[in-house]
Amino acid sequence: MQGLSLMVLGMGIVLSFLVLLIGAMKLVSWLVATVAGDEPAETAPAFSAAPRAPGTRPDAALIAVLSAAVRKYRQGRS
């Protein structure tokens, strides 16, 4: 019976701590939103790589660089 009461006490303490933690997080979130206001954050422009036309081959220099990088990586791991 003592083990059961200890388990219930422990679970109650953990539950109360989690409730307090969630409340603190909501409070901090509200404070930050109040202080910061509704200023939109500046974002970097999205990267847009031009798609290759179907059937075109990649650049030979690019293939050489990638092959050398893979070879160097594999040598370092073995």
- pLDDT tens by residue, 23-73: 999 999 999 888 877 666 677 777 777 777 777 777 889 899 999 999 999
Q: Nearest 10 degrees: CA dihedral of 64, 69, 71, 76?
A: 160
Choice between 47 and 74, residue whose per-residue pLDDT is larger = 74
Give the length of the chain: 78
What sections of 37-59 are H helices per DSSP?
none
pTM exceeds 0.75 = no
